[in-house]
């Protein structure tokens, strides 16, 4: 009888061990996608592939380290944390965690304290279930006893894992058409599953040369551009020969006018000063590459003239592609005698700016502690306090010394759930506290802009001030849907694109013609600055001017042609703009990735 009980206990333990080893990866997957909210959306082949991936992750690590206890604990904890992070990130910025975001961890951690985290029921259930499975793994461990078995298991696991990866990228991706849409990556990941979708996006790290790319083709494009320079009309050139001593460019955090999506009323005006500006300025609608976050991609387009539409999908150039000197607006004005200063009232490491700004050619980067005595609104330096630091720099420099400043503000950063009394209230919509807090912050920005421009209107040195918003805010989705009059996931790409519009302004304290611009991509704004400032431009700037005339808006979702007609990228090779876009693709590849950048094209005074 005793032997029978021992046998029974052994069978029970073996059953538990087998169940833990086989079922934990599957249950982990169920918990993961329950937390993200995508469990019921993942079906068929995608479901099967996710289960295989989770199993391979668990079993491969367990075989390599010969410990189910440790391997399963690592994955149980790591995947729970990742699932919760994914849920909160999507909630805060309407965009999932992508492979590039691993490189932006410092930035994410620095702003994470300004959001409210409310755990869901799915999180509590998942934590409880995975805790039980982890305890079971520790109570009844599984280990291979001999060296031969351990090495065989580890080798087999590695072979299976690498074999599956090869099969996945070479066969399954094209066969199942697994793609991650950068227009709506959250929607893509909700269909593919997070781990499967992330695995797919890793391939985007590899940058391939455009078909037909060669040094000969680049030389031909350069010659064509130089031949066209003499007769090219520079639309934004001022009818004066004044060259501004000070060029102050401000990318204002989350600065936007949500009326571009749909009209709504408030009890007080929140952008009255900006809208009142009529003299000595160009202003209008700027199309930026991001919504709700990823500030640095708007920054990148402005400072380089490159387009995120032609960059690897979902990429963050500041994090990945700043390995060599990067030529753009900063180096162009620097070559013409300007001292160049970057400013940002937050840690310099955010979005890798400390390194990116060095590669962009800034002489100095003032961040973080430089603003320690500046006033705050909520947890961030106010726009007015920020502008006081700009004023200090222009007051302290030598008279006549050309100065270029690029400043990135922080006042309006999300989330919008702080204990902050709103001064602007919606009259047509109830229970929209995030939107009302956001609009109240924009009112503060508008007043700070007035303060800045009124100061420089009294300054003798010719001064140009450029301001634009980096993206629209992540406020209540219900508010956006109310403005659109329907669900966001039912919008056409052109209609959805209105979420990527922010205001821009190019103002001078001396007489220049005024104009309103309805459509302009962020990549073209630096051209406008150089033309209006009567500064020398590179061949790349001249090429961009040709491109702007043919396609004033170029975006990941599509583009507007010279007739103002929306075009998608579908069958783009058959469209009239394709020859120019193809040349631009070659140029941007050379600008971003080729170790031998065509300096004579992208820089002034370089060969």
**pLDDT above 50: residue 186:** yes
Q: Which residue has the higher pLDDT, 354 or 503?
A: 503
Residue 8 in this model has a pLDDT that exceeds 60: no
Over pLDDT 90: what percentage of the chain?
63
| 245 pLDDT above the threshold of 50 | yes
How many residues in total does the chain contain?
607
Average pLDDT over residues 38-52: 91
Lowest mean pLDDT among 18-27, 55-64, 315-324: 315-324
Identify whether the C-beta of residue 402 lies closer than 8 Å to the C-beta of residue 339. Answer: yes
Domain containing 134 equals 10-205
| Strands 553-555, 558-560: pairing kind | antiparallel
Q: Does the pLDDT of residue 223 top 80, yes or no?
A: yes
- The pairing of beta strand 339-344 with beta strand 364-367: parallel
Q: 559 in a domain, yes or no?
A: no
Q: Which of 8-22, 24-38, 214-228, 510-524 has the lowest mean pLDDT?
A: 8-22
* pLDDT band at residue 109 using 50, 70 and 90 as cut-offs: low
Q: Does residue 357 register a pLDDT over 80? A: yes
289 lies in the same domain as 425: yes
Higher pLDDT, 418 or 479: 479
Q: Which pLDDT value is given to residue 312?
A: 84
Closest of 555, 558, 93, 435 to residue 291, by C-alpha: 93
> Tokens at residue 211, please?
């078909």
Question: Among 456, 346, 467, which residue's Cα sits nearest to residue 393?
Answer: 456
**Structural domain count, the chain:** 2
Residue where a domain terminates, one of 513, 536, 559? 536
Across 90-104, 153-167, 317-331, 573-587, least confident range: 90-104
Same domain, 250 and 174: no
The verdict on 256 and 196 lying in the same domain is no
Burial class for 12, CB neighbours closer than 10 Å (0-12, 13-18, 19+): exposed
Give strand pairing partners of 408: 251
To the nearest 10°, the Cα dihedral for 74, 75, 76, 77? 50
Q: In terms of domains, do 395 and 452 share one?
A: yes
Q: Which residues of 237-259 are buried (b: 16+ CB within 10 A; e: fewer)?
A: ebeeeeebbbbbbbbbbbbbbbe
Q: Sorting pLDDT into bands at 50, 70 and 90, what band is 181?
A: low
Instruction: Record the tokens describing residue 509, joined without a space.
Output: 């304290």
The whole-chain average pLDDT of the chain stands at: 89
Q: Poorest-confidence range of 224-233, 257-266, 420-429, 455-464? A: 224-233
Query: Is residue 53 over pLDDT 80?
Result: yes
Domain boundary among 491, 518, 536: 536
- Name the token pair of 256: 């936007």
Phi-psi domain of 314 (left: phi exceeds 0; alpha: psi -120 through 50; beta: other)? left
pLDDT score of 110: 57
pLDDT computed for residue 4 by the predictor: 42
Residue 266's beta-bridge partner residues? 426
The reported pLDDT for the residue numbered 114 is 60
Rounded-to-integer distance, Cα 243 and Cα 232, Å: 20
Who contacts 200 (Cβ-Cβ below 8 Å, separation ≥6)? Answer: 173, 178, 179, 180, 192
Q: Are residues 332 and 469 in the same domain?
A: yes
Mark whether 57 and 172 lie in a shared domain: yes
**Residue 58 near residue 24 (C-beta atoms within 8 A):** yes
Cis omega (within 30 of 0) for bond into 415: yes
pTM recorded for the entire structure: 0.76
pLDDT of 355 > 70? The answer is yes
Indicate whether 550 belongs to any domain: no
Question: Taking CA 13 as the corner, what is the angle to CA 10 and CA 18, rounded to the nearest 5 degrees?
Answer: 120
Q: For 67, phi and psi rounded to 5 degrees? A: -155, 105
User: Among 536, 564, 598, where does a domain finish?
Assistant: 536
Q: Which of 3-17, 310-324, 334-348 has the highest mean pLDDT?
A: 334-348
Task: Return the number of other C-beta atoms located less than 10 Å from residue 425's C-beta.
Answer: 17
Q: Is residue 552 part of a domain?
A: no
Given a cut of 60, whether residue 104 has pLDDT beyond it is no
Q: Are residues 395 and 492 in the same domain?
A: yes
Give the per-residue pLDDT at 381. 97
278 with 156, same domain? no
Please check whether residue 557 lies inside any domain of the structure.
no
| 299 has a pLDDT exceeding 90 | yes
Residue 603 has pLDDT above 90, yes or no: yes
Least confident interval from 72-76, 157-161, 466-470 = 157-161
Is the pLDDT confidence value at 113 over 70?
no
Dihedral Cα 590, 594, 596, 597, nearest 10 deg: 30
Residue 3 lies in a domain: no
Q: How far apart are CA 56 and CA 34, in angstroms?
A: 20
Q: Is residue 545 part of a domain?
A: no
Q: Is residue 275 part of a domain?
A: yes
Tokens describing residue 284: 């209008």
Higher per-residue pLDDT: 115 or 605: 605
Q: Are the C-beta atoms of 409 and 350 separated by less than 8 Å?
A: no
- Compute the CA torsion angle 87, 92, 94, 98 (nearest 10 deg): -60
CATH code, domain carrying 309? 3.40.720.10
Contact 426, 266 (CB under 8 A): yes
Question: pLDDT band at residue 208, thresholds of 50, 70 and 90?
Answer: confident
- How would you classify the pairing of strands 339-344 and 403-408? parallel
Packing angle, helices 68-93 and 44-65, rounded to 10:
140
Both 172 and 284 in one domain: the answer is no
List the one residue out of 300, 292, 356 whose CA is nearest residue 106: 356
187 and 252 within one domain:
no
> Which pLDDT score, from 0 to 100, does residue 306 have?
97
Looking at the structure, do residues 194 and 276 belong to the same domain, yes or no? no
Find the range with the poorest average confidence among 165-174, 424-433, 437-446: 165-174
Determine, yes or no, domain membership for 212: no
Do 401 and 509 lie in one domain? The reply is yes
């Amino acid at each position: 009888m005793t032997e029978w009980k021992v046998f029974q206990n052994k069978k029970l333990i073996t059953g538990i061990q087998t169940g833990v080893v086989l079922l934990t990866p599957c249950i982990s997957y169920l918990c993961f996608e329950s937390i993200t909210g995508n469990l019921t959306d993942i079906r068929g082949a995608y479901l099967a592939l996710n289960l295989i991936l989770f199993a391979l992750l668990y079993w491969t690590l367990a075989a390599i380290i010969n410990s189910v206890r440790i391997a399963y604990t690592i994955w149980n904890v790591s995947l729970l944390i990742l699932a919760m992070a994914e849920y909160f990130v999507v909630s805060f910025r309407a965009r999932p965690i992508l492979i590039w975001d691993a490189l932006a961890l410092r930035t994410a951690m620095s702003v994470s304290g300004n959001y409210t985290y409310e755990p869901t029921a799915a999180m509590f259930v998942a934590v409880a279930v995975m805790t039980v499975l982890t305890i079971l793994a520790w109570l009844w461990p599984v280990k291979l006893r001999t060296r031969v078995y351990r090495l065989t298991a580890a080798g087999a696991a590695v072979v299976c894992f690498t074999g599956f990866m090869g099969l996945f990228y070479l066969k399954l991706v094209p066969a199942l058409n697994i793609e991650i849409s950068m227009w709506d990556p959250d929607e893509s990941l909700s269909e593919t599953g997070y781990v499967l979708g992330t695995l797919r996006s890793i391939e985007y790290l590899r940058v391939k040369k455009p078909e037909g790319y060669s040094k000969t083709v680049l030389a031909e494009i350069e010659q064509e551009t130089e031949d066209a320079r003499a007769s090219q009309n520079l639309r934004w050139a001022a009818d004066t020969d004044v060259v501004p001593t000070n060029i102050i460019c401000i990318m204002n955090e989350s600065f936007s006018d949500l009326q571009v999506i749909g009209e709504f009323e408030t009890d007080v005006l929140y952008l009255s000063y900006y809208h009142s500006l009529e003299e000595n300025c160009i202003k209008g609608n700027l199309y930026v590459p991001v919504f709700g976050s990823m500030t640095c991609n708007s920054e990148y387009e402005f400072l380089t003239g490159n387009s995120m539409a032609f960059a690897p999908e979902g990429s963050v150039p500041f994090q990945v592609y700043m390995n060599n000197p990067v030529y753009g607006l900063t180096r162009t004005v620097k070559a013409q005698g300007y001292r160049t200063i970057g400013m940002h009232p937050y840690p310099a490491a955010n979005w890798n700016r400390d390194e990116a700004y060095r590669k962009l050619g800034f002489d100095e980067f003032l961040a973080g502690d430089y603003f320690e005595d500046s006033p705050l609104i909520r947890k961030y330096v106010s726009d007015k306090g920020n502008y006081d630091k700009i004023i200090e720099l222009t007051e302290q420099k030598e008279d006549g010394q050309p100065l270029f400043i690029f400043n990135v503000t922080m006042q309006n950063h999300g989330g919008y759930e702080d204990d902050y009394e709103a001064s602007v209230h919606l009259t047509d919509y109830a229970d929209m506290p995030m939107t009302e807090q956001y609009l109240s912050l924009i009112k503060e920005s508008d007043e700070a802009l007035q303060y800045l421009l009124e100061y420089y209107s009294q300054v003798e040195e010719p001064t140009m001030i450029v301001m634009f918003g980096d993206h629209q805010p992540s406020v209540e989705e219900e508010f956006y849907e109310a403005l659109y009059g329907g669900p966001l996931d039912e919008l056409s790409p052109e209609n959805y694109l209105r979420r990527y519009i922010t205001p821009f302004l190019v103002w001078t304290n001396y007489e220049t013609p005024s104009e309103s611009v309805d459509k302009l991509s962020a990549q073209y704004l630096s051209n406008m600055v150089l033309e209006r400032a009567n500064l020398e431009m590179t061949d790349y700037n001249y090429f961009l001017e040709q491109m702007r005339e043919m396609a004033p808006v170029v975006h990941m979702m599509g583009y507007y042609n010279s007739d103002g007609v929306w075009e998608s990228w579908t069958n783009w090779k058959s469209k009239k703009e394709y020859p120019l876009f193809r040349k631009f693709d070659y140029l941007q590849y050379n600008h971003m990735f080729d170790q031998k950048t065509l300096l004579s094209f992208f820089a002034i005074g370089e060969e």
